Structure 1
């Protein structure tokens, strides 16, 4: 399946990696990196205007409208009480604000709910990478008995028997019917509209020198400096993720019964306890942090990296103790807060009653 725009995303990721090793967007003053707003070599940090999509699921208003209804409709779940938005709530940065997710009948699950924000740009989905794209991921929670616990036979009887939904599917996917594929495609179409690409940082990169404070610019310097934060080695341009998997040395990684992470999908030793690098866009909205929800604040995240992790046994080679002063840590947090786009309030869809 060909994904429109995928080449653009890959080239920007590569450009970001090259730029970070060649001093992009900076001049050196007294040995210190000084960044200038609007520098052409910083442009690799800007996301493509349109995220990639499969050729057979081009975004249309009809598909997005249908997908939004489905995303917010609890009737998709087995007991009728849980929608996609139950865990991916726009009020919590399209996550849920909990350390780890709650599933069917409020069951406590083992991993934090990842945000939907900018998942449209991901080249692989889920904390452990078990889903290829948004279409592949969309019905995953419905299929999981511990999550939405959906009964698909019942669900498709309901959707086909509901005039509002049957008409919406016919307009969005004429001749394709109502099935798992069109259900997944519609939800994915809506999810591709959940984007963060107009943060103070984005405006600063485009040339607005007043968009970020001096402290936030200092924080960006720490973020990309391999001798300081070195954050960009994993949280790379343009979506602040390398789409890779890393063991961060969290306390929950101790013991043989620890969550295997990517290792369960790809049993290579270095991937034991490794999880996907999340985007940092809108990160100020998506606390708590890490796959186990163990960091309550962005400063807690920074302090974890300053320590170089807790459990060292299977630590990613990119993780090492950081030599940061109190001011530098504050600067870094200030920069992370500059990655938040100011979004319009989300309007809830009117769900078809029959």
Structure 2
């Protein structure tokens, strides 16, 4: 099977509601285009409709930059490029290797694996709803999806190309790509248009329409009593809304993130953060984003998080608050993939952490959550699973629950029900 980069190739998406995102698009040259090899045809990989319960329509439209308007042809080309392994140095890795639609656009690995089996330092975040992020990557080192798309292609531990131009040269030899770029952009393949096409496709991966959305929309039976209790705990005793909401006073039923960075106590004990911060202060040029990208993926300095970009002490070992939609099917968790289940995540927060962490976020404290409370919070998080991943969610919840009944490495009941630990002072 082969596909063509033309409007009829994604007619179903347009009919389904995506047309409103492209109705004011740039015009593309009306040139004939021969077939390219078929991109991934899994239904989970296709552009998503705007007709979803809970989807913020105006906000979604506002995420599309003026200098890269959506067109069906560009999205179709971007989808092909997203799955194109020839964008890697040895032809083995594509964007979809670490962001597999079958796995909710993650790879379900602790940290991602690139060419020649090279293992990175960071867990692959989902592409789903990435269009709403104010910054990209766990440390916010990219401001746009276009900027983000470049770094993995040229990172030696990911796709490994010597340069973006070298990656373009590999696909520019393919006649189908020559014709597709000419059709979409009016000229041969080049680096900036490569990134624009990939980002355009990624912006179509918007997913809502979960049981929780139907509950908020008025169907009081859409989620069970446990999930309802979890939603209340989320906004009160569990203090999740301190980071997973735009404000602490108004409940967030849309994106569940604050567009900020926090030190939540992950990796502090396993790494000598003080020494690494001292090295970074002296050696790292925070304006060199390529160097920052390589440290984030290849070096122990990865644990410094946002500090690599800002050099501000308050950002030491701080990482971006992720959204929570489809969180059940994007395990393992946190920037380093160190927690296997949502029960582990809740145990980590429940004990308050901070014993060895001078930079711990002020909102992290013991929560005194009971086992029933934690089960309810997990039930709420599971209710954020969108329809296309419903069956995966059922299986994953059962898997995680089974693990939680025999293995809870983060559980510390004494600390969870005790006073907040005395934090050490930051080093002078």
CA–CA distance in structure 1, aligned partners of residues 215 and 55 of structure 2: 10
- Corresponding position of 1:340: 385
Deviation per CA, 1:82-110: give whole Å up to 9, x if none: 00011111122211111111122111111
Which of residues 105, 109, 124 in structure 2 aligns to 1:113? 124
CA–CA distance in structure 2, aligned partners of residues 328 and 106 of structure 1: 40
- Corresponding position of 1:348: none
Deviation per CA, 1:241-294: give whole Å up to 9, x if none: 111110111244542346110000001111000001111110001100011111
Preserved contact between residue 125 and residue 134 of structure 1 (Cα < 8 Å): yes
- Corresponding position of 1:276: 320
Q: Are positions 1:320 and 2:365 aligned together?
A: yes
Preserved contact between residue 252 and residue 292 of structure 1 (Cα < 8 Å): no
- Tell me the SS of whatever aligns to 1:109: coil
- Corresponding position of 1:10: none
Q: Are positions 1:199 and 2:244 aligned together?
A: no
CA–CA distance in structure 2, aligned partners of residues 160 and 86 of structure 1: 21
- Corresponding position of 2:342: 298
- Tell me the SS of whatever aligns to 2:324: coil
Preserved contact between residue 102 and residue 108 of structure 1 (Cα < 8 Å): yes
- Give the TM-score, by structure 2 length: 0.67
Which of residues 251, 263, 266 in structure 2 aligns to 1:247? 263
Which of residues 218, 226, 242 in structure 2 aligns to 1:233? 242
Deviation at 1:46, TM superposition (A): 5.4
Q: Which runs of 5+ in 1 are unaligned?
A: 6-44, 346-354
- Corresponding position of 2:143: 132
- Identify the structure with bigger relative contact order (alpha carbons < 8 Å, sequence gap 6+): 1
Q: Which runs of 5+ in 2 are unaligned?
A: 1-20, 22-53, 246-251, 277-300, 391-428
Q: Are positions 1:262 and 2:278 aligned together?
A: no
Q: Taking structure 1 as reference, are residues 218 and 344 closer, same or farther at Cα in structure 2, changes over 3 Å only?
A: closer
Q: How many aligned residue pairs are there?
A: 299
Deviation at 1:48, TM superposition (A): 3.2
CA–CA distance in structure 1, aligned partners of residues 330 and 353 of structure 2: 21
CA–CA distance in structure 2, aligned partners of residues 57 and 64 of structure 1: 11
Preserved contact between residue 88 and residue 159 of structure 2 (Cα < 8 Å): yes
CA–CA distance in structure 1, aligned partners of residues 267 and 149 of structure 2: 31
Q: Are positions 1:162 and 2:174 aligned together?
A: yes
Q: Are positions 1:91 and 2:102 aligned together?
A: yes
- Tell me the SS of whatever aligns to 2:67: helix
Preserved contact between residue 55 and residue 209 of structure 2 (Cα < 8 Å): no
**Which deviates more from structure 2 when the two are superposed, residues 52-61 or residues 248-257?**
248-257
- Corresponding position of 2:192: 181
Q: Taking structure 1 as reference, are residues 46 and 84 closer, same or farther at Cα in structure 2, changes over 3 Å only?
A: closer
Which of residues 311, 330, 342 in structure 1 aligns to 2:375? 330
Preserved contact between residue 47 and residue 239 of structure 1 (Cα < 8 Å): no
- Give the TM-score, by structure 1 length: 0.80
Q: Taking structure 1 as reference, are residues 144 and 196 closer, same or farther at Cα in structure 2, changes over 3 Å only?
A: same
Preserved contact between residue 118 and residue 157 of structure 2 (Cα < 8 Å): yes
Deviation at 1:157, TM superposition (A): 2.8
Deviation at 1:210, TM superposition (A): 1.6
